[in-house]
Amino acid sequence: MTGPFSPGDKVRVARTHPPGHRRTPYYVRGKTGTIERVCGEFPNPEELAYGFDGLPRKRLYRVRFRQKEVWPNYTGADGDTVDVDIYEHWLRAV
């Protein structure tokens, strides 16, 4: 399921490495985080990059990841996070 999600929902980022212009960084693919906020709806940058209109708009979420879940050897505090803006089609319900 790719949403819609609400703040507090647990989500997993798709572990996929498609070619072309993507704005979901490698380091969060396959990782689990929590929806921190719904950011709004925007034309899809993956389509805009090739001259398409990017419509219909996609929902953008801020996803909060615990650093200790992203990096196996993270040495900072347990509560440290990395918050990343991710489009709905990259997210799966957990």
Partner 1 sequence: MEPDNTKFTSAKEPGRGYHDLGGLSAGPVDPAVTTAKPWEKLSVVLGNALGSKGKKVICTDETRRTREEMGVELYNKLGYFEKGIESMRAILTEKGVLDDAEIERRMAAIEKRIREQGR
Partner 2 sequence: MSEERDVHHGHDHDHDHAHGPLHNHPPLQPDDTSAPGRYELMVLAMKELLIEKGVLTADQVRRGFETLDSWDPGRGAAIVARAWTDPAFKKKLLSDGNAAVAEFGIDMGEAKLTVVENTEKVQNVAVCTLCSCYPRAVLGLPPDWYRSKNYRSRIVIEPRKVLKEFGTEVPDDMTVRVHDSLADLRYLILPRRPAGTEGWTAEQLASIVTRDCMVGVANPQVPRNA
Q: Which is nearer to partner 1, 4 or 10 (CB)?
A: 10
Is residue 73 within 8 Å of residue 47, measured between CB atoms?
Answer: no
Place of tokens 């949403």: 3
CB crowding 7-16: b at 16 or more within 10 Å, else e = eebebbbbee
By CB under 8 A, the residues from 29 to 58 that bind partner 1 are 29-30, 45, 48-51, 54
Q: Among residues 72, 75, 78, 79, which is the contact residue for partner 1, using CB under 8 A? A: 72
CB contact set of 10 (below 8 Å; sequence gap of 6+):
32, 33, 34, 93, 94
Q: Is 90 helix (H, G, I), strand (E, B) or coil?
A: helix
**Residues forming the site for partner 2 (CB under 8 A):** 23-25, 27, 39-40, 42, 45, 60, 62, 70-71, 74-77, 79-87
Among partner 1, partner 2, none, what does residue 40 contact (CB within 5–8 Å per kind)?
A: partner 2
**Minimum distance, C-beta of residue 33 to partner 1, in the bound complex (Å):** 14
Q: Which residues bind partner 1 (CB under 8 A)?
A: 15, 17-18, 20-22, 25-27, 29-30, 45, 48-51, 54, 70-73
